[in-house]
Amino acid sequence: MAGGVQRDGAFTVIVSQNAGRIAFLAASAKRLYKPFSAADVPEQIKGAPIAFVHVEPNNPSRSQSKISVASPIERVVLKSKVNESAVVQPESFETEPVTWSNLLGGQVEANRAYATFGVDAIRELPAGDFDVVIITQHGERRCKVGAKDRTKIFPTKR
């Protein structure tokens, strides 16, 4: 194949708070036909509000000259679109390997990432849109969280 493997694949990004993370875990369990109850909810999620960012590499895609695969993730940060110097670092960050195989025995690898952020730190970002910045071995990828979605996910304190 002329182009080989290119590390320019896309990601799916999910941003949520505690309730959204619980729904995500429940849906994942259901998809695998596993039981899920209140006892299965991690202690971390039962406490104070936390922002969860889950970054999943999309499946590799193939064109005539190359295979596009997501680049390995090194870090995830949140960055204001209004003030580029306003950045929120994660409170926790983990990656997990992902491997895809083909019928000929070949494999390509990437990783998924899980990051948590303080909700108050996100609320301190300048009003308006912000980006989830995925820092990879081959550059940055960005996913915009629009002002309307931001308000839905992180409503102002009452």
pLDDT in tens, 58-100: 999 887 778 899 999 999 999 999 998 999 999 999 999 999 9
Residue 15 has a pLDDT of 95
So where are the chain's domains?
5-153
Cβ-contact 148, 18 below 8 angstroms:
no
**The two three-digit tokens of residue 49, written as one number:** 């509000």
Cβ-contact 12, 58 below 8 angstroms:
yes
Mean pLDDT of 34-60: 90
Residue 1 has a pLDDT of 45
pTM score of the predicted model: 0.85
Residue 5 has a pLDDT of 81
Cβ-contact 5, 67 below 8 angstroms:
yes
Is the pLDDT reported for residue 44 higher than 70? yes
Confidence of residue 110 (pLDDT cuts 50, 70, 90): very high
Give me the percent of the chain exceeding a pLDDT of 90. 66
Mean pLDDT of 104-128: 91
